[in-house]
Structure 1
Amino acid sequence: MTDSEEIEDSKKEKRSMLDGLEAQASGAGKTNKSSAGDASSAGWKSVSYLDPGRSKTLFLGIVFTLIFYVLVYALGASISNERIKGVFDIFLKPRNLIVVVPACALFFWGIAILIIKRLRLRKQKSALAFSIIPQDPTFVLNAETAKLVLGRLEKTISDPDQFLLLRRIRISISNLRNLGQVSDVSEILRAESEEDVARHENSYALIHSFVWAVPVLGFIGTAIGLSVAIGDFGSVLAGANDLSAIKESLGSVTSGLGTAFETTLVGLFLALFLQMLAAIQEDEESKFLNDCSVYCQEAIVSRLRISSEK
């Protein structure tokens, strides 16, 4: 068996163990709540806040694109300065629309994803301020005091699973009776942390594809513009008999060149801006996940006192 296969088997074993412990923890934490099973009705699930979903964000992206074009059209019509007006015209020229509109749609779809992720991250961060573990330095966690912590958890919020941090705490301390060593709890928390990091990274797959696709659309516009310009220039040379006629026909040629460079400019600018915003959000989420791991280490693992008796 290769090293990669051993690592994969180890991950599967961890996931299987977590699934079993989570099922037990869910049953233990909801014995007094007949209707608490429908967690989605109470708020965002911890496993879904990292991935805001495609249908909702796609709809918002389309709405943002429509609003953007309404504003561009209105402002472009009201501005008299030719240079500023030319910037708005880049998004409105008929030859540019076939490339610029899809590029803007992907850009605003990515913006919609980042907005929802920002709102959900703010909600998740609020869990760090909850007083779940007693602040008494002499307090220790064992099978008995875990009941106190779970009680405080239920009093603090009706459905802790809507918060990533509280979900980790619930899963770990609800199974203290089934664990023999502190290292077992630490391993559960470490596995949960790895799962959350993996979900965090996967939630950016769509945005990263947009960052790749938007400039590609710009380059497609470049190819279209150059082909149109070359074709028009050939027609000009074939149909013109004198220099003055050639000069009069060069307008269509320069229009094609304008499409080539303008669409590339739009694609590169949108991709750069989206990548910068995504990097900022991704960094903040990574810091939050690290804060959750540090919280669990200091508030749970360092206070555990598990009896070796089974």
Structure 2
Amino acid sequence: MSIPASHRPAREWLLLVIALLIVAGVITPLWQIMGSPESRDELAARWTPERLGRLLLGFEQVLCYVCAVWAILILQSRYREVLRQRRAFGLELLPTEEGARILPEDARPLARKVEQVTAGRPFVLANMIRLGLGKFAISKSATDVAEVVRNQADVELSRLITGMSTVHYLAWAIPAIGFVGTVRGLGGAFGANDPDIAEFTRQAKDQLKIAFDCTLVALVLSLGLMYFVHMVQRAEETLVTDAQQYCQEHLLLRLYDPAAEHAGV
């Protein structure tokens, strides 16, 4: 049985590796030429374990980690659901023999077969087929079935988009929390009022580090999370598209439409 598959995208991970190699091949010699040993030693001395701890373990940073992990767990659950949904393409839901036709009187038995094969488990593909067969049994019109399948695909896609609302909120909340930490750090820097200039400068620098650390961590987490959001959304949209293609090949093109047959005579 042929399983529908969308056009394969470019091998993005391979292209990413090639891009990294190209950039590394250009940057590494320049860095070795222009970067003095003193500057490299300075960089290593600046990022001590204590400095990294302040960068990564602030209050706002921890809140960002909670939001990111929560969102990733939701995305993992949704991606596993996409994999489960794809198992429906391997089930014998419709006749796939060459030249097979579906008559109006075959629609209800096929719909019952779909329910039996799926054993009541919710599948996007099975639901589209079941609704299409139900419409064909009543109207006996392939055009009506195509409209039902298209409308159901829109409904499934809208449901998937709505289900991502929490993840989108978390992806927005992470940079917002980082901005809160930034404001807190800037407020502390400008609010330092120690009469000793050296102590004032030290306090202001510490607060500014808090501000910029929060921003840096939040933006990095947000960039990573948005990539995973994009990947899961694409997997879900591809699932619906492949389900439509399956219905097109194995349902719509095999329907025997008496009205269309008589009109063509």
Q: Determine the structure 2 residue equivalent to 1:40.
A: none
1:85: how far off? 5.1
Q: Normalized against structure 1, the TM-score is what?
A: 0.64
Q: Confirm whether residue 230 of structure 1 aligns to residue 190 of structure 2.
A: yes
Q: Confirm whether residue 164 of structure 1 aligns to residue 124 of structure 2.
A: yes
Question: Does the 8 Å contact 1:215/1:264 carry over to 2?
Answer: yes
Paired AA for residue 158 in structure 1: A
CA distance in 2, matches of 1:88, 1:128: 49
CA distance in 1, matches of 2:246, 2:168: 30
Paired AA for residue 219 in structure 1: F
Q: Determine the structure 2 residue equivalent to 1:302.
A: 253
SS in structure 1 of the partner of residue 104 of structure 2 = coil
CA distance in 2, matches of 1:265, 1:288: 35
CA distance in 1, matches of 2:115, 2:212: 59
Question: Does the 8 Å contact 1:210/1:271 carry over to 2?
Answer: no
1:1-310 equivalent positions in 2, closer than 5 A: 83-84=48-49, 86-92=51-57, 96-97=58-59, 99-160=60-121, 162-232=122-192, 235-236=193-194, 239-240=195-196, 246-308=197-259
Stretches of 4+ moved more than 6 A in 1? Answer: none
Which is further off, 293-302 or 211-220? 211-220
Paired AA for residue 119 in structure 1: R
SS in structure 2 of the partner of residue 223 of structure 1 = helix
Question: Does the 8 Å contact 2:104/2:140 carry over to 1?
Answer: no
CA distance in 1, matches of 2:51, 2:103: 70
1:204-227, Cα deviation, whole Å (9 max, x unpaired): 222222222211221221111011
Paired AA for residue 133 in structure 2: I
1:55-114, Cα deviation, whole Å (9 max, x unpaired): xxxxxxxxxxxxxxxxxxxxxxxxxx963553343233xxx31x2232222222211210
Distance 1:84 1:134, change over 3 A: farther
1:276-295, Cα deviation, whole Å (9 max, x unpaired): 11001111111111000000
1:163: how far off? 0.7
Paired AA for residue 87 in structure 1: L
Higher RCO (CA < 8 A, seq sep 6+): 2
SS in structure 2 of the partner of residue 131 of structure 1 = coil
Identity %: 25
Cα-Cα RMSD: 2.1
